[in-house]
């Protein structure tokens, strides 16, 4: 694929982000415009490697036909590249922005050279498709009499809805928030995924015949609550796609009180206020002029960093309990597994540009949130730990903080939805349903995405939504 000698002739060069100091003053996307000639050159680097691990399960959970559309971009056949991309991925405009690109970690060229810039190329194909009017609503030619309710409008729910609608079934998606998109809308900040891009895809899905209902809290106790037993009575099948939304807490002394927040509380309120009023309503946790500590790494931690910097926080530190990763793969981390190496994400780059140093502090464990006699947060006491997380005596330290955000992952789904049912859970409190089958212990109830497998990637949620739709379609035909 690509140019036979391209990987020998051309170096890897990713599309740059906007200048760090420039993008810190707004919540616009961090990306720059795509350059076709540059991307064609990068597509030329795709090797005729024989066994493309990039599109294997290790590389791409939706099995994108990566070598094929790399070659098509190299040949400037963009519309055909989009057609190949849409065969496996309903929403490449999302994954091209927010996926960490495990495909690049599995790229065969990456064994001895920098991998092909697969993520950049995917995003450009999707964006070009919309710009040229190639992505349009395609309602099914006929409808069945079958009805499906999907609870949750994140990537798994939307992917399942799109596929089931393609089969001609009648799909209704219930979302407890006031906007459709779930994690895509409120869990990922605007500078990484502009919400007009989410709305654009949702509008297409609506034009294709999918029914969306917002402010619909299935299992809740408010005025807009809906009992899942009613859905199971009214619909032929129900899919749980609620995500893993219970955050992992840091239960150390001083936890109760103002100043300590879960990351998602911070990010969701910020995005909602941004969309509702451009942050004019002040209905968000404002980090302006505050000393901020983010506990936990990963994408969510980085998003807390980027958001705090855009609020113009006074200072910023990011604790990670893990040691600093190596610059290259270790012997215990061989190709084609995901390379656990040191990376600089957009938030780290922004903090370094503004403050002159990387915000991360490694091998740090929190011991106590420190408060004054009135309960006001003053900071946190910590201790350093070794690679086995054993505390190192004599490394105690106090860090000042006005705001501390907890970004330590998620434990599983909220279960109030199934209060009126008996549904089996797995050992991690997820809805128990085998991958590839997706049927829970209740015959008409299916589960897909993070609420079934636990916290994972957007691309894995899309994969599960697509596959669950196939199983539901088979179930409806029985």
Q: Are 153 and 173 in contact (CB under 8 A)?
A: yes
- How does pLDDT run along the chain (478 residues), one tens digit per residue? 678 899 999 999 999 999 999 999 999 999 999 999 999 999 999 998 989 999 998 899 999 999 999 999 999 999 999 999 999 999 999 999 999 999 999 999 999 999 999 999 999 999 999 999 999 999 999 999 999 999 999 999 999 999 999 999 999 999 999 999 999 999 999 999 999 999 999 999 999 999 999 999 999 988 888 999 999 999 999 999 999 999 999 999 999 999 999 999 999 999 999 999 999 999 999 999 999 999 999 999 999 999 999 999 999 999 999 999 999 999 999 999 999 999 999 999 999 999 999 999 999 999 999 999 999 999 999 999 999 999 999 999 999 999 999 999 999 999 999 988 999 999 999 999 999 999 999 999 999 999 999 999 999 999 999 999 999 999 999 8
Tell me whether residue 1 is in a domain: no
Beta bridge partners of 78: none
- Record the tokens describing residue 458, joined without a space: 């957007």
The span from the first CA to the last CA of the chain, in angstroms, equals 42
Tell me whether residue 153 is in a domain: yes
pLDDT at residue 344, as a whole number: 97
- Backbone dihedral angles phi then psi of residue 377, each to the nearest 5 degrees: -70, 130
Tell me whether residue 140 is in a domain: no
Tell me whether residue 137 is in a domain: no
Domain count, the chain: 3
Q: Are 236 and 148 in contact (CB under 8 A)?
A: yes
Q: Residue 178, SS3?
A: coil
Rounded to whole angstroms, the Cα distance separating 155 from 137 reads 18
For residues 372 and 438, state if they share a domain.
no
Rounded to whole angstroms, the Cα distance separating 290 from 9 reads 49
pLDDT at residue 222, as a whole number: 83
Tell me whether residue 83 is in a domain: yes
Element (H, E) at 126: helix 118-131
Query: What is the domain-level CATH number for residue 50?
Result: 1.10.1060.10
Element (H, E) at 361: strand 360-362
For residues 306 and 346, state if they share a domain.
yes
For residues 419 and 395, state if they share a domain.
no
- Record the tokens describing residue 270, joined without a space: 């910020």
Cα separations (Å) of 381 from 218, 361, 388? Answer: 41, 14, 20
CA angle 23, 299, 431 (to 5 degrees): 140
pTM of the predicted model as reported, rounded to 2 decimal places: 0.96
Residue 424 burial class via C-beta count within 10 angstroms: exposed 0-12, middle 13-18, buried 19 and up: exposed
Residue 332 burial class via C-beta count within 10 angstroms: exposed 0-12, middle 13-18, buried 19 and up: exposed
For residues 118 and 218, state if they share a domain.
no
* Lookup result for tokens 């990922």: 188
Q: Are 237 and 167 in contact (CB under 8 A)?
A: no
Tell me whether residue 58 is in a domain: yes
For residues 238 and 253, state if they share a domain.
no
Q: Last residue of a domain, which of 391, 408, 425? A: 408
Rounded to whole angstroms, the Cα distance separating 476 from 478 reads 6
- Record the tokens describing residue 139, joined without a space: 């309602």
For residues 352 and 292, state if they share a domain.
yes
For residues 256 and 367, state if they share a domain.
yes
Q: Are 423 and 409 in contact (CB under 8 A)?
A: no
SS (H, E, C) 295-333: ECCHHHHHHHHHHHHHCCCCEEEEEECCCCCCCCCCCCC
For residues 402 and 257, state if they share a domain.
yes
User: Which of 135, 397, 408 is closest to 295 using CA atoms?
Assistant: 408
Tell me whether residue 270 is in a domain: yes
Q: Last residue of a domain, which of 408, 442, 469? A: 408
For residues 74 and 119, state if they share a domain.
yes
For residues 423 and 322, state if they share a domain.
no
For residues 349 and 465, state if they share a domain.
no
Tell me whether residue 441 is in a domain: yes
- Record the tokens describing residue 161, joined without a space: 């809805």
**What is the DSSP pairing of strand 410-412 with strand 246-247?**
antiparallel
Q: Are 336 and 311 in contact (CB under 8 A)?
A: no
For residue 198, what are the domain limits? Answer: 147-245+411-477
Rounded to whole angstroms, the Cα distance separating 394 from 401 reads 22
Query: What is the domain-level CATH number for residue 422?
Result: 3.50.50.60
Q: For the chain, percent helix, then strand, then coil, each to nearest 5?
A: 35, 15, 50
For residues 104 and 71, state if they share a domain.
yes
Q: Last residue of a domain, which of 408, 423, 438? A: 408
Give the total residue count for the chain: 478
């Amino acid at each position: 694929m690509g140019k036979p000698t391209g990987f020998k002739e051309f170096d890897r060069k990713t599309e740059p982000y906007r200048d760090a100091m420039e993008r810190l003053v707004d919540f616009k996307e961090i990306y720059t415009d795509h350059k076709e000639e540059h991307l064609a050159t990068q597509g030329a680097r795709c090797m005729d490697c024989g066994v493309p691990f990039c599109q294997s399960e290790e590389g791409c959970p939706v099995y994108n036909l990566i070598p094929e559309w790399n070659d098509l971009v190299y040949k400037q056949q963009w519309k055909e590249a989009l057609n190949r991309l849409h065969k496996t991925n309903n929403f490449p405009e999302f994954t091209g922005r927010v996926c960490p690109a495990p495909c690049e970690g599995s790229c065969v060229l990456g064994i001895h050279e920098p991998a092909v810039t697969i993520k950049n190329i995917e995003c450009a194909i999707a964006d070009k498709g919309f710009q040229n009017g190639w992505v349009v609503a395609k309602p099914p030619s006929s409808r069945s009499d079958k009805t499906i309710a999907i609870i949750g409008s994140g990537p798994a729910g939307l992917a399942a809805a799109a596929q089931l609608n393609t089969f001609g079934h009648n799909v209704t998606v219930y979302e407890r928030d006031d906007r459709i998109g779930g994690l895509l809308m409120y869990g990922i900040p605007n500078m990484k995924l502009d919400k007009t891009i989410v709305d654009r895809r949702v509008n297409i899905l609506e034009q294709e015949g999918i029914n969306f209902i917002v402010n619909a809290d299935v299992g809740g106790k408010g005025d807009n609550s809906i009992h899942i037993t009613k859905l199971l009575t009214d619909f032929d099948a129900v899919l749980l796609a609620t995500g893993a939304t219970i955050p992992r807490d840091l239960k150390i002394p001083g936890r109760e009180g103002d100043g300590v927040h879960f990351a998602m509380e911070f990010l969701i309120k910020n995005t909602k206020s941004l969309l509702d009023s451009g942050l004019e309503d002040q209905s968000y946790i404002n980090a302006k002029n505050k000393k901020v500590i983010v506990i936990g790494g990963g994408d969510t931690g980085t998003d807390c960093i980027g958001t705090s910097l855009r609020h113009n926080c006074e200072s910023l530190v990011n604790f990670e309990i893990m040691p600093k990763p190596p610059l290259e793969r270790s012997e215990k981390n061989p190709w084609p597994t995901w390379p656990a190496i040191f990376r600089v994400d957009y938030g780290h780059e922004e903090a370094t540009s503004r403050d002159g140093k990387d915000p991360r502090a490694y091998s740090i464990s929190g011991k106590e949130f420190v408060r004054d006699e009135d309960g006001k947060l003053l900071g946190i006491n910590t201790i350093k730990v070794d690679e086995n997380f054993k505390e190192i005596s004599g490394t105690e330290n106090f860090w000042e903080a006005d705001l501390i955000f907890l970004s330590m992952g998620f434990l599983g789904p909220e279960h109030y939805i199934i209060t009126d049912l008996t549904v089996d859970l797995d050992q991690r409190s997820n809805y128990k349903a085998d991958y590839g089958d997706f049927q829970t212990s209740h015959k008409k109830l299916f589960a897909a995405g993070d609420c079934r497998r636990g916290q994972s990637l957007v691309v894995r949620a899309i994969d599960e939504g697509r596959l669950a739709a196939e199983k539901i379609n088979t179930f409806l035909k029985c």
